[in-house]
Structure 1
């Protein structure tokens, strides 16, 4: 299983809901076994620069590549990119199913 985690910060606080709404469109793409977008709860007192977290799980790398190749993914990127400051992404193979 591939776990896909992406962290975003909004350029402006006023854009936060638009970033979240834009990223939620990714949930319409088939292929993810699990998909969620959520605001960062900012519980960790050391790091609060991340505003939004995208978390998804995929059967394998091919499923993740197919998901990213969907036109909705490109549309979402065009919508969210101008509104975000930071974007950090990590993918890892989980040994737990």
Structure 2
């Protein structure tokens, strides 16, 4: 298995990695704005069928494809998750239980 994450291949290119992370967060904010208000999972946050959890999976895959296609950048799973949850924290569309 080869390493294809840009952060791992060139860890010293901090400027590029931070710029891509800003793009990712903006991407997620725009996508979250497209949906009606979303309620975060309540009693069972690990329920894969909960709408929020299904949305997370779909948006992360789309964001990865977007970066690969438009920026020729392969983000790590951690970069994707951090950007997603930063966007969730800033979004006005998320309702906490």
Structure 2 length-normalised TM: 0.37
State the structure with more CA Rg.
2
The structure where helix makes up a greater share of residues is 2
Structure 1 length-normalised TM: 0.37
The structure where strand makes up a greater share of residues is 1
